[in-house]
Amino acid sequence: MASNSFGEIFRLTSFGESHGEALGGIIDGVPAGIEIDYNFIQTEMDRRRPGQSKIVTQRKESDTVQFLSGIFEGKTTGTSIGFIIVNENQKSRDYDHIKDIYRPSHADFTYDKKYGNRDYRGGGRSSARETVARVVAGAIAKLALNQIGVTIQAFVNQVGTIKVEKAYKQLDLSLTESNDVRCPDLKIAAKMEQLIKETRKKGDTIGGCVQCVITGTPIGLGEPVFDKLHADLGKAMLSINAVKGFEYGSGFAGVEMNGSEHNDVFNTDQSTQTNNSGGIQGGISNGEDIYFRVAFKPVATLMQKQQTINNTNQEVEMEGKGRHDACVVPRAVVIVEAMTAITLFDFYLRNKLARL
């Protein structure tokens, strides 16, 4: 029932509003003995941080994590890890102009109707700023997964109509962080960057896709029949703000294939010749690469005039203020990775229980 929690064993519970005192979370179910690399965690936070490059929102936050418990002498102790990220400029912006307004395609209307009131400052809890807590938990999950040999790499593979046409195996994923868009196909990256800049100039926004690739997953992760590995990865992705779709392995394209071409034939070393299954069969990892794609809609906040209504159903005109992303996918890359890491490490722990 706890809708601010994610994961069954390795479990993040988060709190915090865009313009409240602080955001943060508690991670429960962390096994004892994981070495905590604070620099790595902060590096992950920096990948999500606003203001990191010219094509993302220029809001200034250092997004420094303070750990309050659960770590002793550099290692996890097995007790719950509490952490906070203080909001530095929560009083610097004025949201009074949207206090009574339902912005189009935002959560203003639905929160107001559901709860009877809402923290309107910067979207309150519905702001994507809540993902800071996900990145912290994801970074700890990554540290644990590294010890097991799992790597997670996400990258932008589409902005608007500009797509990476190559399969991920043809790309050098180490190039992802080399450009502001976080696309390892550098020619495509340049085009994407151009499109984002043009879109921003018009005061408009544009959607995009993130692809994620996981290597080194042990065989056996996934808990049928409802907690299939890809089902929970799908939920993890769909729980991120602005996500509209998820597909893994052959995905929507697989629909058009015949079984005779779609089936992944085994090699005698138990690997498969193709990987339309996306590394998951019957909801359980088979040791091949896991890969999936996540669709993000264009950001709803525009730097141009829009018609909308207020909470007494009167038509009003509004315009976004402040500094917003024209395209979320470059910053979403680390959030996709974080949710992937949380999910995967959780299933790694769950799989310890499969046999007596």
Q: Which of residues 169-198 bind its own copies (CB under 8 A)?
A: none
CA distances from 56 to 124, 197, 201, 324, 329 (A): 20, 10, 13, 7, 10
Which of 63, 232 has the CB closer to its own copies?
A: 232
Q: Minimum CB separation from its own copies for residue 174, in Å?
A: 25
* 167: contact with its own copies by CB under 8 A: no
Site string for its own copies, 26-65 (x = CB under 8 A): x-xx-xxxx-------------------------------
Which of 167, 265 has the CB closer to its own copies?
A: 265
Which of 44, 108 has the CB closer to its own copies?
A: 108
Q: Minimum CB separation from its own copies for residue 54, in Å?
A: 19
Read off the tokens for 275: 């990987």
* 13: contact with its own copies by CB under 8 A: yes
Task: Return the DSSP state at 289.
Answer: P
- Picking from 3, 211, 246, 298, the residue whose alpha carbon sits closest to that of residue 126 is 3
Read off the tokens for 159: 């902005």
* 109: contact with its own copies by CB under 8 A: yes
Which of 174, 252 has the CB closer to its own copies?
A: 252
Residue type, 152: I
Q: Which member of 69, 92, 178, 194 binds its own copies (CB under 8 A)?
A: 69
For 64, phi and psi rounded to 5 degrees?
-90, 130
Q: Which member of 50, 70, 184, 330 binds its own copies (CB under 8 A)?
A: 70
Which of 4, 178 has the CB closer to its own copies?
A: 4
Half-sphere exposure of 64 (CA within 13 A, CB side): 3
CB 77 within 8 A of CB 97: no
* Beta-bridge partners for 243: 296
Contact positions with its own copies (CB under 8 A) in 296-315: 296-302, 304, 306-309, 313-315
How many residues belong to the site for its own copies (CB under 8 A)? 148
* 125: contact with its own copies by CB under 8 A: yes
Cα 55 to Cα 182: distance, rounded to the nearest angstrom: 11
Which of 178, 281 has the CB closer to its own copies?
A: 281
Cα 327 to Cα 196: distance, rounded to the nearest angstrom: 7
Which of 105, 215 has the CB closer to its own copies?
A: 105
3-state helix/strand/coil string of 216-246: CCCCCCCECCCECHHHHHHHHHHCCCCEEEE
Cα 300 to Cα 316: distance, rounded to the nearest angstrom: 17
User: CA 242, 332, 217, 137 torsion: positive or negative?
Assistant: negative
Residue 306 burial (C-beta neighbours within 10 Å; 0-12, 13-18, 19+): middle
* 130: contact with its own copies by CB under 8 A: yes
Residues in the chain: 356
* 249: contact with its own copies by CB under 8 A: yes
Q: Which member of 50, 138, 184, 220 binds its own copies (CB under 8 A)?
A: 220
Q: Which member of 278, 330, 332, 343 binds its own copies (CB under 8 A)?
A: 278
* 330: contact with its own copies by CB under 8 A: no
* 88: contact with its own copies by CB under 8 A: no
* 343: contact with its own copies by CB under 8 A: no
Q: Minimum CB separation from its own copies for residue 245, in Å?
A: 3
Which of 92, 266 has the CB closer to its own copies?
A: 266
